[in-house]
Every structure is written in structure tokens, then in C-alpha cells.
Amino acid sequence: TVGAVAVDASGHVAAATSTGGLTGKRWGRIGDSPVIGAGTYADDRACAVSATGTGEVFIRNAAAHEIAARMRLLGETAQQAVDAVMAEVGAMGGDGGVIFAAHDGSAGFAFNTPGMFRGRADASGLHETAIY
């Protein structure tokens, strides 16, 4: 699975996710990536999220929407919200990670696996990639 989230110069957020799914998937199995609110979500009032990992748990958790809702309703920062939702995903036996770009211009990630291919860039010149 691959994904991208962004905040543009006008302060609008957007998310995109794309995946081949799981090796050996059967019966037309679909994970969280194309399920809006599970693996992909964007709301200018909060953040944009793209997720990767155990799709079934991200769906049951409505993880991407939950992150945005926690920001809107509880006033959490994006990092607080993604950390809380990833803790819940882990507690439900799911693994993987999320990236976010928030309406305040922050961007980041949270994951509970040994690695996640990821990168970040912004108008100030930040430009980094990481795997572990």
C-alpha cells in the first residue's frame, strides 16, 4: 500500500491511498484503502489521513475518520489523535501505520510495526525519507 497526504498553501487538505492488497487474497477481499473513513479520509476542519496495515482492523475502527473526529470533537492535536487510534488498532490485533497532514500545517505518522516506508517535505525545506 502507498499513500500521500498534503496541506496546500490555501490550507486545504487531501489524501490518497492505493494498494495491491494482500498476497493470496480471495473472494474479492477488500481492505481499508478504498473504504473512505477507514484507510483514507480528509477534512479541512481536522486533517488528511492515509493508512496501511491490517485493513480489517482499520475498517472496524473506522480509523482515518476517528482520527479527524478526535481532533474536531476532543480538540486533540493530530499526533495525539493518530497515537490514540493506532494504540486502539494495536489493541484490536491490527498492525500497520498512518500518515497525516493537519490543517495547522503539521504532518507526521504513527506505526506499530518495525518499519514503514515514509517521507515528508514542506515549504520550509524539510525533506526526509525513512524506513525503520
Which candidate in 1, 40, 52, 54 is catalytic?
A: 1
What torsion, rounded to 10 degrees, do the Cα atoms 55, 15, 85, 116 define?
A: 70
Is 1 catalytic? The answer is: yes
> Could you tell me which of 50, 43, 101 has the C-alpha nearest to residue 77?
101
Closest contact distance (angstroms) between CB of 74 and another protein is 19
User: Which of 48/81 has CB closer to another protein?
Assistant: 48
CB 45 within 8 A of CB 103: yes
Closest contact distance (angstroms) between CB of 16 and another protein is 4
Closest contact distance (angstroms) between CB of 70 and another protein is 16
User: Which of 16/84 has CB closer to another protein?
Assistant: 16
Q: Which strands form 107-111's sheet, in the order they lie side by side?
A: 40-42, 47-53, 96-102, 107-111
Q: What is the DSSP letter of 45?
A: T
User: Which of 76/102 has CB closer to another protein?
Assistant: 102
Catalytic site positions: 1
